[in-house]
Structure formats: structure tokens, C-alpha cells
Amino acid sequence: MCLAGTHETVRTRVEEEGLPAVSRRRFLLGGASAAAVAVLSRPSVSVALPRRGRKRARDLTHVFREGFPMYVSPPPSRTTATTIPADGFYGQRWEFGEHSGTHMDAPGHFTLGGRLSPDITPKELFVTACVIDISDRAAQNPDAEVTVADLREFERSRGRIPRGAGVFMYSGWESRVNDPDAYRNLGTDGRFHFPGFGLGAVEWLLENRDIACIGVDTLSLDNGPSQTFAVHTTLLGADRYGLENLANLSTIPPRRAEAVVGLVPWEEGSGGPCRVLARW
């Protein structure tokens, strides 16, 4: 038998030191006797418990740099404003358009009176990332689009796209980002050719899944040859936002990662450069 008060003493030490709990039933059956002796005999010091799995993180943002490929605006440029030898501190002066690098398109980018950068709420900037992989199709057809069939196939294999999700297209196009001509892929028809979302897929997401945003690893939410920008007008017109020029989407889980969109609240911004991070 156990000495009077032993179970209560062990329970107290368990609570204080974070040890695995021992039920009274197990204690009385004798399975916990050895544990009780160990708890009572050891000095009162911190106990090394099994370590839980550490979360992993990935940056979904391209380095903001001079010469980054742009849809229409001049690429970002920079000059050295101050140096440590001359001024005691180092700093740069940048010139860039709002839609440079990895960036957000806020609703007001295409919608008159739509919300601008400071209006995007913190809650909207935390999303479950759902990555739709169309890289095989995009390798054969640079004008490939995310379709409703892609979304349904994703849900068959990965589960339902949750409310407030960020649905991101992975096309593999980021491999071209260091070559502006290849990234823009201007054709003889005078149009760009790169993948994007199809209008039907965006309408389906808005009507059936109440998403927070979509994102692409290309220059535009619409695919390159689009002249109507129907995806932009539909998504932003529904008061959602878009992310363009995402990176490293192939390195995060298709469904488990949580992403945070680090948008600077640019004054009167139609969007703007941001840092997008994923954790799972």
C-alpha cells in the first residue's frame, strides 16, 4: 500500500513540475508506484519533458530589389543616401511603384471607393494557405489558369477550403524572376504570357468558400494575355484582396500552413509591397 497522502503529494509535484498526470486508478493498480517513488526522491528541479515538434516557417516573399520585373511601372531603383564613414550611419533612398515586388492589390486598386491599404483589418491578414499546384500544366501552357476543376480536385485530396482562406496558385513561374524578359514573357502578339486565375475559379471561391484573398507567383492575378482584368475587377470588387509575385509556394504544405501578410499601411495605398510568411 502507499503511505497516506502519497497520491496527493505526487499530484502536487506533478502540477508544479509539469510531469505527466497519474490517475488514481493507475496509482491504486500499482502502475504508478515507481513514478511516485521517482517523483518523491528526486530533487525539486525542472524536469526535461519530451519536446513537442517545432513549427517550421517559410518566407513567401521575394527580396525587394532593384530591377524587379514589373507589369507596367519602371522597376524599383535605389541610391545610397548616407554612409557610415561620411555620416555615421548607413541608409538608402528608394523609388518604386506601389505594385513592386511581392505585394498586395487592395480593393481600391480596381474599385472606385474601394478599401485602401490602411483599411485592411489585422484579422484579414492571417489566412490558412491553400496552394493549388498547376505547375505541370503551366510548363506546357504559359497561359494556364486555375480552374474550378483544380479547386474541386484540391478539396478531394486536401479537404475543404476553409472560410477566410488565402488560395494561392503555384505555377513554378518564380524560376524566371531573375530574368525580367522571361518573367514578363512578352509574345509576338504584344501580350504577356504567364499563368493566373481563371474568372470561373474566382467566382466559385467567392460564392462558395468566402475566401479572404487569392495569390499568385506571377505578375498578375489574371493570366498574362488578359485584356479585361476580369479576375481583378471581380475579386477586388467583392472587397477581397490579391497577392502577386509570391515565392516558395512549393515548399509549404498545400493545406496546413498559416500565412501572415505583413502589409505596410501605406497612406491612401492601392496596395503595396508586403512580406508574406508561412508557418506550420
Question: Rounded CA gap, 49 and 17, in Å?
Answer: 10
DSSP for residue 44? S
Q: What is residue 152's three-state secondary structure?
A: helix
Question: Does position 6 have pLDDT exceeding 60, yes or no?
Answer: no
pLDDT attached to residue 279? 98
Crossing angle of helices 33-41 and 6-17, in 10° steps, is 70
Give the confidence band of 179 by pLDDT, cuts at 50, 70, 90.
very high
pLDDT, residue 21, reads 47
Q: How confident is the model at residue 42 (pLDDT cuts 50, 70, 90)?
A: very low
Residues 91 and 79 sit within 8 Å (Cβ to Cβ): no
Higher pLDDT pick, 227 / 29: 227
Q: Is the model's pLDDT at 194 over the cut of 60?
A: yes
Closest to 48 (Cα-Cα) out of 9, 69, 24, 17: 17
CA angle (158, 160, 161) in 5-degree steps: 100
Answer yes or no: CATH 3.40.50.300 is held by domain 57-279. no
The reported pLDDT for the residue numbered 52 is 63
Between helices 148-158 and 199-208, what is the axis angle to 10°?
Answer: 50
Is the pLDDT reported for residue 33 higher than 50? no
Domain boundaries, the chain: 6-41, 57-279
Per-residue pLDDT tens digits for 113-140: 999 999 999 999 999 999 999 999 999 9
DSSP structure string for 218-236:
SS-SB-TT-SS-HHHHHHH
- The candidate with the shortest Cα–Cα distance to 278, out of 167, 102, 261, is 261
Closest residue by Cα to residue 216 from 183, 180, 265, 178 = 183
**2 pLDDT tier (thresholds 50, 70, 90):** very low
Other beta carbons less than 10 A from residue 209's beta carbon: 17
* Total-model pTM: 0.81
Bridge partners, 168 (sequence order): 131, 215
Looking at the chain, the whole-number percentage of residues with pLDDT higher than 70 is 81
Q: What is the pLDDT of residue 34?
A: 41
DSSP state for residue 159 in the 8-state scheme: -
Looking at residue 48, its pLDDT comes to 53
* Range name among 52-56, 224-228, 268-272, 273-277 with the lowest pLDDT average: 52-56
What is the reported pLDDT for 204?
A: 98
C-alpha cell at 117: 491599404
Are the C-beta atoms of 129 and 113 separated by less than 8 Å? no
* Residue of 28 and 148 predicted with greater confidence: 148
- Dump pLDDT digits (tens) for 203-241: 999 999 999 999 999 999 999 999 999 999 999 999 999
How far apart CA 242 and CA 215 sit, in angstroms, is 6
State the pLDDT confidence band at 30, using cuts at 50, 70 and 90.
very low
Q: Are 246 and 252 in contact (CB under 8 A)?
A: no
Rounded distance between C-alpha atoms, residue 109 and residue 220, angstroms:
13
- Residue 54's pLDDT band, with cuts at 50, 70 and 90, is confident
What pLDDT shows up at residue 87? 98
Q: What pLDDT is attached to residue 9?
A: 45
Q: Could you tell me if 277 and 262 are in contact, meaning their C-beta atoms sit under 8 angstroms apart?
A: yes
Q: pLDDT value at position 43?
A: 44
pLDDT tens digits along 138-150: 999 999 999 999 9
Rounded to 5 degrees, what are φ and ψ at 162?
Answer: -75, 160
Residue 88 has pLDDT above 50, yes or no: yes
User: Residue 188: which residues within 8 A CB-CB, separation 6 or more?
Assistant: none
Using DSSP, state whether 102 is helix, strand or coil: coil
Residue 109 has pLDDT above 60, yes or no: yes
